Structure 1
Amino acid sequence: MAVVLIVKTGDAFPEVVDQHGDFETLFEKQLSSALPAPITLQTWDAQRQPSAPASDALAGIVITGSHSMVSHAEPWSEALKPWLQAALASDIPMLGVCYGHQLMAAAFGGVSDYHPGGRESGTRSVRLTQAGQQDPLFSQLPESFAAHLTHSQSVMQAPQGSTILAHNSHDAHQALRYGPRQWSVQFHPEFTAPVMRAYIERQRAALRDQGEDPDTLLGEVSDAPEASSLLWRFLAFV
Structure 2
Amino acid sequence: MKPVVIFRHACCEGAGYLGTFLAQHAIPWCEVRIDKGEAVPASVDDYSGIVLMGGPMSVNDDLPWIPPLLQLIQQAVQADVPLLGHCLGGQLISKALGGVVSKNPVKEIGWGDVQVADHTVARDWFGDLQGFNSFHWHGETFTVPEGATHVLSSAYCANQAYVMGKHIGLQCHIEMTPSMVKIWTEQWKSDIASAASSPAVQSADTMLAGVEADCEVLHRVADKVYSRWIQGLAA
1:191 aligned to 168, 176, 188, which one? 176
Partner of residue 148, structure 1: 135
Q: Does 1:10 align with 2:24?
A: no
User: 3-state SS of the aligned residue for 1:24?
Assistant: coil
CA RMSD across the alignment: 2.3
Shift of 1:53: 4.7
Partner of residue 231, structure 2: 236
* Letter aligned with residue 30 of structure 2: Q
Shift of 1:218: 4.2
Partner of residue 27, structure 1: 18
Shift of 1:172: 1.3
Q: Does 1:57 align with 2:46?
A: yes
Partner of residue 78, structure 1: 67
Query: For each residue in 1:209-228, what CA deviation from the matched residue of structure 2 results, as whole angstroms up to 9, or x when unmatched?
Result: 44655144444652223332
2:111 aligned to 117, 123, 139, which one? 123
Moved more, 50-59 or 77-86: 50-59
2:166 aligned to 181, 201, 207, which one? 181
Partner of residue 99, structure 2: 110
* Letter aligned with residue 208 of structure 1: A
C-alpha distance in 2, partners of 1:129/1:88?
Answer: 24
Shift of 1:126: 1.1
Alpha carbons 1:70, 1:113 under 8 Å: kept: no
C-alpha distance in 2, partners of 1:45/1:135?
Answer: 31
C-alpha distance in 2, partners of 1:194/1:151?
Answer: 19
2:148 aligned to 138, 162, 166, which one? 162
Shift of 1:152: 1.2
Alpha carbons 1:122, 1:150 under 8 Å: kept: yes
Q: Percent identity?
A: 23
Mark the CA change 1:104 to 1:167 in structure 2 (over 3 Å): closer, same or farther.
Answer: same
Moved more, 87-96 or 43-52: 43-52
Structure 1 gaps, min length 5: 13-21
Mark the CA change 1:26 to 1:129 in structure 2 (over 3 Å): closer, same or farther.
Answer: closer
Q: Does 1:171 align with 2:153?
A: no
Shift of 1:30: 3.4
Alpha carbons 1:150, 1:199 under 8 Å: kept: no
Mark the CA change 1:110 to 1:187 in structure 2 (over 3 Å): closer, same or farther.
Answer: same
Equivalenced residue count is 222
